[in-house]
Amino acid sequence: MVVYKVDRLTRSLADFAKLVELFDQHGVSFVSVTQSFNTTSSMGRLTLNVLLSFAQFEREVRAATRPFHASR
């Protein structure tokens, strides 16, 4: 699986974990064109999980602040 950036695939940590598990079951490698990650190593998985945690946090913060900005 080739993507431009990890957060273009998903911003949900839970969804990404499911995708990586599915990739592993089918012998699929994951490659991000603009970021170097290796999902076959524990360090690569840790790095991806941290990155996706921030992406999910950003999505949730934006969703929580959207009603505030709309009411102005």
pLDDT tens, position by position, 26-54: 998 887 888 777 777 788 878 888 888 88
Q: Say how many C-beta atoms besides its own lie within 10 A of residue 68's C-beta.
A: 8
C-alpha separations of 57 from 1, 4, 11, 35, 42 in Å: 24, 20, 9, 19, 22
pTM for the model: 0.58
Note the pLDDT of residue 26: 94
Tally of CA atoms within 13 A in the half-sphere of 71 that contains its CB: 5
